[in-house]
Structure 1
Amino acid sequence: MSIDDKRRQTASSAPAKAIILAAGVGSRLQPLTDLRPKPLVEVNGTSILHNALRNLEAVGVKEVTIVVGYRKDAIQYACGRRFGALEINYVESPIFDRTGSAYSVWLAREALLSGDCFLLEGDVFFEEDALRYLMISQAPDVAAIVPFDESMEGSAVLLSDCGFISEFRMKQTGENLVGNGPTLFKTMNLLRLSAPTLKATIVPTLDEIIGSGVTQAYTEELLSYLVELRGLQLAAVRCDGLRWYEIDTTDDLQVAERIFGRAKGRGLPGRR
């Protein structure tokens, strides 16, 4: 199926809403983040956040909730209450410097309970088709993945024979690929989640975790808990060949600018 066919197939099937996590300090990108939040750092003249909003608008999303914290006024000024056809809402994290990204997800629970949605981290620069790949899947809950390679680091996942994420492995590097171990994949921090799963599983689990005082967990740790202990069936959609990059450092930014400066389809996989 060509990408034009995919666009026609998914034109009316996008979730109406999306949530973008954009509250963190981005200390590893200093000095670029001394005066601006990481989601406003630019890749070839386009900020990470504006790129995400443009892609969400292009696939048919109507409303976006952005969780803000560090230099929140800059994000609110840059995006306003509308971005093209998108309605923008904001949720503020008052303790962004002492909490993990799972806490930001919990803060957006009202939006999570309002229907199907995309969930995005605010430091991923990606092309529009990654969202379309998520939309094509027939599974209700889906995560975008790519093969884990030697250049990558961070969380990785294992897949079941049926194509569902069966296990998360944190703090992986290229060294973990040595030998005859299981095939690892990297999550792109782009998800499509269904209203029933959000209402019955994800939000109640967040309430339980945050209520117990665990506020520093990352989204990957939340997903690991949900998959391995709460029975979340999270399907994996492979986005091999699509351009994307997770931007944590100035080196990451340089790589992202090289990737998105190339002709479409010739990029490298991203990493964390």
Structure 2
Amino acid sequence: MSGSSAARGHVCDITGRSDGTAWRGVDDVTGSHRVLAVRAIILAAGRGSRLAPMTDDRPKPLVDVLGRSLLLRTLDRLRSVGIQDRDIVIVTGYRADMIDAVMEREQLRCVRVFNPRWHDWNNFYSLLIAREAVGGEGFLQFDGDVVFDDQVLPRMLGARDGAALAVDVRRDLDAEPMKAVVGPDGYLRELSKAVDPARALGEYIGVTRLDAASAACIFDDLARFEAEGLTHEYYDHAYHRVAAAGQVRIGIVDISDCEALEVDDLADLARAEARLAHRT
């Protein structure tokens, strides 16, 4: 079920260039044109111990879902909206050599950035160290363990707001999901697993769009985590902090009528394969 118009945000018609150099949106109120995010960051450094034994010999994003890995499925989706491999940054860590081998086998030119702290710091650092690689531009950001259908990216690229999170708007939440709370204006106010589910709009699924200005603010906040003793935190905590402080207005894109699932454990994997099998 779709959420309210406040939750969904302002929507634009979008067109993509086949060479992947630009996406332009036509604002449905002003009629103006604006360039949308054309780069992407995929966080693929984690081991995914809850998916063992499947991750004993490979990083979590290389786990297969119906015969194709999570990583390649994300790259397929990016290619379908005109974003080319040269504009994609993959942050590696555990078994980085295996991702390198996939890039060579598939003849992909994705930029790879190695996270040397993948094993002892949380994933805030994976996003932070991609900063130089995106060169001050806006981007789409993905967790490496998300499988999603072909409706999610056009909806993200078509949202009005320069910063936006993909959220599965629903009420049946427990303690595990990363939960989003919005204010009366429909913009993000809190983002945390610790949020009372009764206060949450829904689950953030690990897909984000940031324009250049919003990304700079997020990166600046992430850069403070080490000094503040926050190396245990997810990158999501930076979104929470800048939204709560009013530094960045982060919109919500309702994807509750799309197929999107985070694959954290073997039960999630079975659920994802069942959903995909049902669609084919």
Which bracket does the TM-score occupy, shorter chain normalised? Answer: 0.7 to 0.9
2:88 is matched by which residue type in structure 1? V
- 2:129 corresponds in structure 1 to 107
State the match for 1:10 in structure 2.
15
| Amino acid across the alignment from 1:47 | S
Which letter does structure 1 place at the counterpart of 2:100?
Q
Mean CA deviation greater in 139-148 or 44-53: 139-148
Confirm or deny: 8 A CA contact 1:166 1:227 kept in the other structure: yes
Structure 1: unaligned runs, 5 residues or longer? 1-5, 265-272
Q: Closer, same or farther in 2 for the Cα pair 1:171/1:29, shift >3 Å?
A: farther
Question: Would you say the 8 A contact 1:67–1:90 is kept in 2?
Answer: yes
2:175 pairs with 1:159: no
1:226 matched residue in structure 2: 242
Distance 1:166 1:10, change over 3 A: farther
Alpha-carbon contact 1:154-1:171 (below 8 Å) kept: no
Secondary structure of residue in 2 paired with 1:251:
helix
Give the match for residue 89 of structure 2.
65
Query: Partners in 2 of 1:160 and 1:144 — Cα distance?
Result: 16
Q: Which residue of the partner structure matches residue 208 of structure 1?
A: 224
For residue 212 of structure 2, the aligned residue among 183, 187, 195 is 195
Alpha-carbon separation, structure 2, partners of 1:219 and 1:147 = 21
Counterpart amino acid of residue 220 in structure 1:
D
- TM-score with structure 2 setting the length: 0.82
Whole-Å separation in 1 of the counterparts to 2:41 and 2:191: 22
User: Does 1:237 find its partner at 2:242?
Assistant: no
Using the TM superposition, give the Cα deviation of residue 81 of structure 1 relative to its aligned residue in structure 2, in angstroms. Answer: 9.2
For residue 49 of structure 1, what is the amino acid of its counterpart? L
| Matched residue type, 2:83 | V
Q: Which ranges of 4 or more aligned residues in structure 1 deviate by more than 4 Å? A: 81-84
User: Could you report, residue by residue, the CA deviation over 1:34-77 in whole angstroms, capped at 9, with x for unpaired residues?
Assistant: 01111010111111000000111111223111010000000111
Q: Using a 3 Å threshold, how does the CA distance of structure 1 residues 83 and 233 change in structure 2: closer, same or farther?
A: farther
Gap regions ≥5 residues in structure 2 = 1-10, 17-22, 25-35
Q: What is the letter of the counterpart of residue 209 of structure 1?
A: F
- RMSD value over aligned CA atoms? 2.2
Paired amino acid for 2:14: Q
Equivalent residues in 2 for 1:3-42, closer than 5 Å: 9-11=14-16, 12-13=23-24, 14-42=36-64
Deviation string 1:75-100 (CA, Å, 9 cap, x unpaired) is 1111239766xx30111011211011
8 Å CA contact 1:81, 1:89 repeated in 2: no
CA distance in 2, matches of 1:262, 1:27: 28
Structure 2 CA distance for aligned equivalents of residues 29 and 230 of structure 1: 37
**Matches of 1:22 and 1:120 in 2, distance apart?**
9
- 1:76 alignment partner AA: D
Alignment partners' CA distance in 2, 1:167 and 1:247: 23
Q: How does 1:86-165 map to 2 (within 5 A)?
A: 87-150=109-172, 153-165=176-188
> What percent identity do the matched residue pairs reach?
28
1:183 Cα deviation from its structure 2 partner: 4.6
Contact 2:166 2:253 in 1 (8 A): yes
Q: Which has the higher helix share?
A: 1
